[in-house]
Chain A
């Protein structure tokens, strides 16, 4: 037993390392893991889904699934994903900050384990595989981008790495494979259902390369990958079919263009061994990243310097050509356009590329004799010097403030000649120290709260009111403590893109092209004086203001300032707008650089449910009666045909009935749900949502499972 446990000792240390780093960060700042999209999307939706489940309503695909989030086209909420659902049950309303930490910790530990599994699948020894796992768990992009905000991205990474490992093992296994085929296809489904389309592409690339690589050796084994892929695709149909039916949205959100947002450059990718590399990158604003976003391991360059690269590369090419090909594809994906169909922000492939390259480097370290002689150490130190110089060149004053961090890798490199046979342990331990030191440096930074230190962030200004320091999207103070309030989700869903809708010189370039992505939504602005249509503009068919149709009762965002201190349009909010917004500044000081600005409508919309408008001559009475996947209201129409508009984003699958008689549902202005009401109609109008082709998809899944069972029986009986 002890012997078996010993096998997992390296993994245990890796998990301990991840736990240590994350706890350290949490202790430094309890709010670290409760950021941005996690506040406005994932936690609120998670609670909605959990409540629905607890009430016996399995939310096949809720209405909200598709209209929330910064990427509302992506099925991000993982309604079919056990890991996503499990995380929903860990949200504690009383302590959101600890919930966020706990969820991130669990996911990062799982990520560590799945990267370890992948490493093992590629033949890494346990200690090197554990190092790969550790580096996945404490990867800076993972910690500062996924763990604190983009929960589905983290979940998809966990499943994707396991699927990759499963497919790799499937391609290599001899003998009975039915169970492995099922396992691999289940992992494919889990990757897909986690709702992060970038991993779909990564998975397809992995499968294609594995297939080609295996096909050269053994065609029969290669075919297993096809079976697993086909089975996985069928399992994924209930998730993908509703999305596929929304072709209108796909074409709207599609297109191939690049506005430079979240697109790393060659220098960013190459310089992933330097902890002081604070790259310029673009999100809404051109800015210096307040964390070394691309750092993936201080030891990568030194190891390359110490290896006999020519011989090692030849060996690697011969033995791990598939891995190198996958790495190449991932790097190309990172360099792809900002928007490719429904995919955007190629930086989301960064961790895939980094883990593939780390696996490659560790295989190299494992399979070749590393020589830490004086010359090579000097060269490694020289390389560190060059990358440091590059860091200084990239962002001089910012880098200067954290330059002391470079001392650590210099010391570690100097210690390498004294490391005999515990290289992986040394690299792991020093990496933990390195990332902790970086956390000390950068914990007060945030990718989302601009350059302001967290201690000075808007949340901190109101931290004493029991709101745990976060009021800007989800604040008790603002009266949005009812987390199921539909309006919150609408804000969450669309506010993200309203925020950047300014046309002053500094920010307009960043999101140039988003008009093409969200023509229906993005054309709004709540700033006077911009070229965009104002939220107060009238929708042509109804004549109502968009802000009323959307039932927006509050817009809350933060001021983000450009590095030079240029405002990003907030100065414009000082102007009088026709929306009768009142300006409310949390923390007191108006238009201070790091302050929160809240615009709130004076008159809260009191219409029932999510109804936001109906035709003149129609009467809508009483309160809306919520249902599992919709709501019911009472209406009475006049002699003219009429229209009822709901403040929900239109998506294929909406159905409406009037006392069980079907009515026509159509999009209003390409975005809102509108129900056509015949003349003189009266009764209970029920709006509901059923994912398109759901029954057919389930039938196909059942048939596929039956087919697999037959294959399994035949194989166990020795017929294959």
Chain B
């Protein structure tokens, strides 16, 4: 039994040759290879793990359960996930759920009563992430750990030490192959390939925003709204009373959002790191967690003027979307009706307990509509009808994700009913 699994082929990743893509240990990869029977299963496993990890991450940042569920749902079904993580690199190469899980545990280390106990699973997840063999995910973890340790350092140096220790432990387990690091290609340059711009990354609320991004071969990527993450992110900005906000405690996540944003817009090559586009999920996760952290403070104000500004901002991003890629954007223009309707309905739900339910349902509706609209695009996931016709769709495992969704919905419904009962 060859558990090491290391041979010449582990170096043969064609696209990211310079990245640490050799996955020598491949614990999770190995498990998925053993237990999965088809690629569709892997997708579902990946998505399930993603939802769980994101939920844990949001909870680690103190978000309410409902908010955590909404964000977990939104981020795990973004077009970026479908087009790049699942479609191109997904279950086989994507370690995002591991990173988000490790991020959650490292964050928990800042507050848990038993950091010594938490440090071990955190170290294990760091190890698993590194063993996945992607330089980007490794760098992300180091950045996250540094941010968490930095945030807690002034108040409690011991906890900062636990965070550092868990990361070092995870890294140490990888020491046997450290010598191969010398084989990495470095460099610092930017030729613009797979490098999004600031506007492209920040415009994450418009479902027809199909940005011009050059692929690795110098062509534009296919027209797909790869940066669309959450329709509600931009409108929420206008309903928050910014003057009454407490910024205390948000420095860490805000800093991470800033760092990830910088990494996402380039340069194309930064030592062993390449393809800044792959930082986009981190930016989106950090920004959305930050947004919900602020929104949960209860300083949401409903007014016609704010609704007007939200619509104006939506109109501007829609204009930019059409101008960026006119022909496909106009083709997909009917899709804009959905967020417009959702924005109009948002004030009704904004200060009620059913807001998360509303956001979750609308997110799901928009996700399906987006997939449907862009199903013809290259790299797009199959048309929903084709998905349903596929035998894998009726695999028992396939019902897990809807079951989770149903559980979330049931939870919201129960919470709302309880809340209504209390008010009455």
A: residues with CB less than 8 A from B are: 256-258, 260, 263, 265-268, 270, 280, 286, 288, 332, 335-337, 389-390, 392-397, 505-506, 509, 512, 563-564
Is there an interface contact between B198 and A393, defined as CB atoms closer than 8 Å?
A: no
Apart from A337-B322, A396-B267, 20 more pairs, CB < 8 Å: A258-B324, A258-B325, A260-B220, A263-B212, A265-B199, A265-B200, A266-B199, A280-B192, A280-B195, A286-B192, A286-B214, A286-B218, A288-B190, A335-B320, A394-B190, A394-B266, A397-B189, A505-B218, A509-B214, A563-B191
Interface residues of B in 187-230 (CB under 8 A from A): 188-192, 195, 197-200, 202, 212, 214, 217-220
A335 to B218, CA, bound (A): 22
Please name all residues of chain B whose beta carbon is closer than 8 Å to the beta carbon of A509 when the two chains form the complex.
214, 218-220
Provide 21 A-B residue pairs closer than 8 Å at the C-beta atoms, listed in order of the A residue. A257-B327, A258-B323, A260-B220, A265-B197, A266-B202, A267-B265, A286-B191, A286-B214, A288-B190, A332-B316, A337-B326, A393-B190, A393-B267, A395-B190, A396-B189, A396-B267, A397-B188, A509-B218, A509-B219, A563-B191, A564-B191
Task: Determine whether B153 belongs to the interface, using a CB cutoff of 8 Å to chain A.
Answer: no
Please name all residues of chain A whose beta carbon is closer than 8 Å to the beta carbon of B217 when the two chains form the complex.
505
Task: Determine whether B184 belongs to the interface, using a CB cutoff of 8 Å to chain A.
Answer: no
Chain A: which residue is nearest B258 at the CB level?
A386
Chain B: which residue is nearest A279 at the CB level?
B197
Is there an interface contact between A396 and B212, defined as CB atoms closer than 8 Å?
A: no
Q: Number of B residues contacting the other chain (C-beta, 8 Å)?
A: 31
Is there an interface contact between B197 and A267, defined as CB atoms closer than 8 Å?
A: yes
Task: Determine whether B13 belongs to the interface, using a CB cutoff of 8 Å to chain A.
Answer: no
Task: Determine whether B11 belongs to the interface, using a CB cutoff of 8 Å to chain A.
Answer: no
A460 to B171, CA, bound (A): 57
Please name all residues of chain A whose beta carbon is closer than 8 Å to the beta carbon of B190 when the two chains form the complex.
280, 288, 393-396
Instruction: Give the distance to chain B from A507, nearest Cβ to Cβ, in Å.
Output: 9
Task: Determine whether B319 belongs to the interface, using a CB cutoff of 8 Å to chain A.
Answer: yes
Is there an interface contact between A393 and B199, defined as CB atoms closer than 8 Å?
A: no
Please name all residues of chain B whose beta carbon is closer than 8 Å to the beta carbon of A512 when the two chains form the complex.
220
A509 to B192, CA, bound (A): 13
Chain B: which residue is nearest A397 at the CB level?
B189
Considering residues B189, B200, B217, which has the most beta carbons from chain A within 10 angstroms of its beta carbon?
A: B189
Instruction: Give the distance to chain B from A226, nearest Cβ to Cβ, in Å.
Output: 27
A265 to B203, CA, bound (A): 12
A564 to B193, CA, bound (A): 12
Considering residues B217, B218, B324, which has the most beta carbons from chain A within 10 angstroms of its beta carbon?
A: B218
Please name all residues of chain A whose beta carbon is closer than 8 Å to the beta carbon of B202 when the two chains form the complex.
266
Instruction: Give the distance to chain A from B133, nearest Cβ to Cβ, in Å.
Output: 26
Q: Tell me whether chain B's interface is mostly helix, strand or loop, or mixed.
A: mixed
Is there an interface contact between A266 and B197, defined as CB atoms closer than 8 Å?
A: yes
With contact pairs A266-B202, A286-B192, A564-B191 given, residues A337 and B324 touching in the complex (Cβ less than 8 Å)? yes
Contact of B219 among A280, A390, A395, A505 (CB under 8 A): A505
Task: Determine whether B309 belongs to the interface, using a CB cutoff of 8 Å to chain A.
Answer: no
With contact pairs A266-B202, A396-B188 given, residues A258 and B212 touching in the complex (Cβ less than 8 Å)? yes
B: residues with CB less than 8 A from A are: 188-192, 195, 197-200, 202, 212, 214, 217-220, 262, 265-267, 316, 319-320, 322-327, 330
Is there an interface contact between A393 and B266, defined as CB atoms closer than 8 Å?
A: yes
6 closest cross-chain pairs (CB), A and B: A266-B199, A265-B197, A267-B198, A337-B323, A256-B326, A396-B188
A392 to B265, CA, bound (A): 11
Is there an interface contact between A270 and B198, defined as CB atoms closer than 8 Å?
A: yes
Please name all residues of chain A whose beta carbon is closer than 8 Å to the beta carbon of B188 when the two chains form the complex.
396-397
Please name all residues of chain B whose beta carbon is closer than 8 Å to the beta carbon of A267 when the two chains form the complex.
197-199, 265
Instruction: Give the distance to chain B from A66, nearest Cβ to Cβ, in Å.
Output: 27
Instruction: Give the distance to chain A from B83, nearest Cβ to Cβ, in Å.
Output: 19
Chain B: which residue is nearest A509 at the CB level?
B219
Is there an interface contact between A393 and B265, defined as CB atoms closer than 8 Å?
A: yes
A392 to B200, CA, bound (A): 19
Is there an interface contact between A265 and B218, defined as CB atoms closer than 8 Å?
A: no
A680 to B217, CA, bound (A): 60
A397 to B195, CA, bound (A): 16
A390 to B266, CA, bound (A): 9
Please name all residues of chain B whose beta carbon is closer than 8 Å to the beta carbon of A266 when the two chains form the complex.
197-199, 202
Please name all residues of chain A whose beta carbon is closer than 8 Å to the beta carbon of B266 when the two chains form the complex.
393-394
A392 to B188, CA, bound (A): 10
Please name all residues of chain A whose beta carbon is closer than 8 Å to the beta carbon of B262 when the two chains form the complex.
389-390, 393
A576 to B214, CA, bound (A): 33
Please name all residues of chain A whose beta carbon is closer than 8 Å to the beta carbon of B199 when the two chains form the complex.
265-267, 335
Considering residues A266, A393, A395, A505, which has the most beta carbons from chain B within 10 angstroms of its beta carbon?
A: A393
Please name all residues of chain A whose beta carbon is closer than 8 Å to the beta carbon of B219 when the two chains form the complex.
505, 509
Is there an interface contact between B323 and A335, defined as CB atoms closer than 8 Å?
A: yes
With contact pairs A286-B218, A337-B323 given, residues A260 and B212 touching in the complex (Cβ less than 8 Å)? yes
A78 to B135, CA, bound (A): 58
Please name all residues of chain B whose beta carbon is closer than 8 Å to the beta carbon of A335 when the two chains form the complex.
199, 319-320, 323
A395 to B189, CA, bound (A): 6
A593 to B267, CA, bound (A): 25
A187 to B258, CA, bound (A): 47
Instruction: Give the distance to chain B from A348, nearest Cβ to Cβ, in Å.
Output: 15
Chain B: which residue is nearest A260 at the CB level?
B212
Please name all residues of chain B whose beta carbon is closer than 8 Å to the beta carbon of A393 when the two chains form the complex.
190, 262, 265-267
Please name all residues of chain A whose beta carbon is closer than 8 Å to the beta carbon of B195 when the two chains form the complex.
280
Instruction: Give the distance to chain B from A563, nearest Cβ to Cβ, in Å.
Output: 6
Please name all residues of chain A whose beta carbon is closer than 8 Å to the beta carbon of B326 when the two chains form the complex.
256-258, 337
Considering residues B188, B190, B316, B327, which has the most beta carbons from chain A within 10 angstroms of its beta carbon?
A: B190
Chain B: which residue is nearest A512 at the CB level?
B220
A335 to B315, CA, bound (A): 13
Please name all residues of chain A whose beta carbon is closer than 8 Å to the beta carbon of B265 when the two chains form the complex.
267, 390, 393-394
Instruction: Give the distance to chain A from B245, nearest Cβ to Cβ, in Å.
Output: 14
Please name all residues of chain A whose beta carbon is closer than 8 Å to the beta carbon of B322 when the two chains form the complex.
337
Is there an interface contact between A394 and B267, defined as CB atoms closer than 8 Å?
A: yes
Instruction: Give the distance to chain B from A524, nearest Cβ to Cβ, in Å.
Output: 23
